[in-house]
Chain A
Amino acid sequence: GAGVSQSPSNKVTEKGKDVELRCDPISGHTALYWYRQSLGQGLEFLIYFQGNSAPDKSGLPSDRFSAERTGGSVSTLTIQRTQQEDSAVYLCASSSPARPRGYTFGSGTRLTVV
């Protein structure tokens, strides 16, 4: 697609439920990133995928968080047993090998855990 697409744009869930957030990167972009922004905070790195290499999961805050990237394209971020502190805007970005420094971000998923 023309840009990075994320769905849903908004998600309200009850504490303890699982949620899945989807990211469809720009076609041909081999790198995919997940960040999140909590209220009043900067963007926090979560996980990075590059081609077929093992992902860099060093930013995932707990084992309730996981992500996968199928076929080197679409990625799903899963949060199990959601907690109120998981409430944030989750941003996905992708980049191409030719321009690794310039991420293209999606418009994000606003997750609210009630």
Chain B
Amino acid sequence: DQQVKQNSPSLSVQEGRISILNCDYTNSMFDYFLWYKKYPAEGPTFLISISSIKDKNEDGRFTVFLNKSAKHLSLHIVPSQPGDSAVYFCAASVRNNFNKFYFGSGTKLNVKP
């Protein structure tokens, strides 16, 4: 039973437009969330994080939004670039237990030039 779900296996966006990747979770104890980005034949790399005391965290073109009541988070990429084409994983953990993250199944983003 997956506690973190990414229901869209793929997303295609035109260069320059906004990419919105969604993630839902079921465990109300989760209070720390991350997004990872993965290129083919490489390991996932950390992208951005958010803790439950915030509802938004921004880093350059990347913004993560957290809606605790809906148990939903999203990653916005603006403007999207072809180099953003990758698989994006969201992950969640319980406070002070960063040793064990629960990952979604990933969304493959394709940014078309």
A residues bordering B, Cβ < 8 Å? 4, 9, 31, 33, 35, 40-45, 48, 50, 56, 58-59, 91, 93, 95, 100-108
Contacts and interface: CB of A to CB of B under 8 A. Distances in A.
A31 B101 CA distance: 13
Contacts of A44: 103
Contacts of A91: 43-44
Contacts of A40: 9, 105
A73 B45 CA distance: 21
Contacts of B102: 42, 45
A35 B76 CA distance: 26
15 contacts: A9-B41, A33-B99, A41-B105, A42-B4, A42-B106, A43-B103, A48-B99, A48-B100, A95-B98, A101-B34, A102-B49, A104-B45, A105-B36, A105-B44, A107-B42
A108 B42 CA distance: 7
B99 A93 contact: no
Given A35-B103, A48-B99, A56-B100, A43 B89 contact: yes
A104 B6 CA distance: 22
